[in-house]
Structure 1
């Protein structure tokens, strides 16, 4: 009888230990899920993503960049649709800026190649391992994606301008929005582009912390670009292309807009945000 009780007791102890062990593992998993990603882990997620993007085939980059250039037009179009249907009031810009978020949602969630995202994504691998190969791969990706984005922007602008799919009111709003964005002095264009570059790089940095629900971050911060009257080179290329294909500006005016805004986005995304974020993790990464 005593031996039977001992066997039962031993069996119960083993089961209890197994349950306690399982409870401990479950608790550990809950802690892991509740813990915030450290800056070093965020850096590593983006670095690996950037290293993978740099080695993608040229054809993949071209078509992904074309898709991004076309889809980002929904930002300008969304803003124009809001403006065409809202009364002319002091609060209208805050509401119509919601339309600007649409193209970015499509591009970022669709994992399309957007030039301004690469001001941080592909630069982090380069900063962690500066070498000739990484300089070449970064320059190659930047050139392919930028050109593809701009071609896609012209395709979208041509469709918007000549397809007959949009009402005169939307065209009037597109023209007004585009002229406001494009017809700025070069120095002002550069200055407005720097915050936009910082914001896009910040979005890329924050996305690994919310892998399953990034919509709030994307919508809030791309809304801020429009509401703050900042300038994004690819969304701005749609506005520039719309004015060009409508014969409202020439190529010299286009370049006066394009060059300073491109430089401002790169300065904001790379020289400001990426270098600062690299500095905070550089020692940990090296160790």
Structure 2
């Protein structure tokens, strides 16, 4: 007798069925719980622990500016080679995420899921505390590394000029463009954070793919961009007012909306809908 279309494959042993179950990707609810648990642990960390980890992340993110500048200064100035140079953007993200340092845009998803699961005033206060400490730490780190890269005799003139060109490219955007591109960037980082638990063995490739696409699309990111744009400020080409009003403010708002209010909210709603399905009626 033929097996029904909706039935299981016949004649599978217990071991074979176990292999089938093991090969299935985790459900969205499982990914949600992994990230929510991680976020809850981050919210419990002390201010000092968050601060030093965030400062280290800001310094490490300077690798993205450094790698792009080195590649741009050593490759021919054509559009095709710019595609290759964009791989430099991935360097800081790879180092920060693999080292498990505190990156603000990761926390627009990770630390938000516990609040969406249990939206109390205490949890909101914990989120604002984490966001404030991590953001300030990230920015202090990126500003420090940009200042050091400019003022210490580390790079040759051609590389220094490449760093300036990278910052100028970012500042070609209007505040509205900074905001809109920041939304896409925040959404992409949240997507990356959501994907990693289901494919830990491919973590490096996931980080590289997502951040490389961010570089190709010139999407704005508050932490990497802070290093790129502050380099212009320290070089005397840009006032601090433009750094905060044209770049930082709109980009930060876009990153938060893309990561928290779009990706995190939709992902949480999806899982919540799954868990609230009515139980099947017993005959």
- Same fold flag (TM > 0.5): yes
CA contact (8 A) 1:182 1:239 kept: no
Q: Distance in 2 between matches of 1:169 and 1:148?
A: 30
Q: Distance in 2 between matches of 1:33 and 1:97?
A: 37
**Deviation of 1:33 (Å):** 3.7
Corresponding residue to 1:235 among 207, 221, 224:
224
| Residue aligned with 1:211, SS | helix
Corresponding residue to 1:264 among 230, 249, 254:
254
Provide closer, same or farther for how the CA distance between residues 244 and 271 of structure 1 changes in structure 2, counting only shifts above 3 A.
same
Match of 1:4 in 2: none
Cα deviations by residue, 1:175-211 (Å, 9 ceiling, x for unpaired): 0001111342111111111110110000000000112
Corresponding residue to 1:102 among 91, 97, 113:
91
| Residue aligned with 2:79, SS | coil
Please list, as runs of the form range in 1=range in 2, the aligned pairs for 1:11-22 lying within 5 A after superposition: none
Q: Distance in 2 between matches of 1:88 and 1:153?
A: 27
Match of 1:111 in 2: 100
How many residue pairs get aligned? The number is 265
Q: Distance in 1 between matches of 2:18 and 2:65?
A: 43
Cα deviations by residue, 1:103-127 (Å, 9 ceiling, x for unpaired): 0000011111000001000111100
Two-structure CA RMSD over aligned residues (Å): 1.6
TM-score relative to the length of structure 1: 0.88
Please list, as runs of the form range in 1=range in 2, the aligned pairs for 1:205-284 lying within 5 A after superposition: 205-256=194-245, 257-284=247-274
Match of 2:40 in 1: 51
Answer yes or no: is 1:37 the counterpart of 2:26. Answer: yes
Provide closer, same or farther for how the CA distance between residues 151 and 286 of structure 1 changes in structure 2, counting only shifts above 3 A.
farther
Q: Which consecutive segments of 4 or more residues in structure 1 shift more than 6 A? A: none
Structure 1, unaligned runs of 5 or more: 1-23
Cα deviations by residue, 1:13-45 (Å, 9 ceiling, x for unpaired): xxxxxxxxxxx7765653344110110000000
**Deviation of 1:285 (Å):** 4.1
Cα deviations by residue, 1:219-243 (Å, 9 ceiling, x for unpaired): 0110000001111110001112211
Match of 2:142 in 1: 153
Cα deviations by residue, 1:236-262 (Å, 9 ceiling, x for unpaired): 011122112222211111112110000
**Deviation of 1:93 (Å):** 2.2
Match of 1:66 in 2: 55
Structure 2, unaligned runs of 5 or more: 1-12, 278-283
Larger radius of gyration: 1
| Residue aligned with 1:81, SS | helix
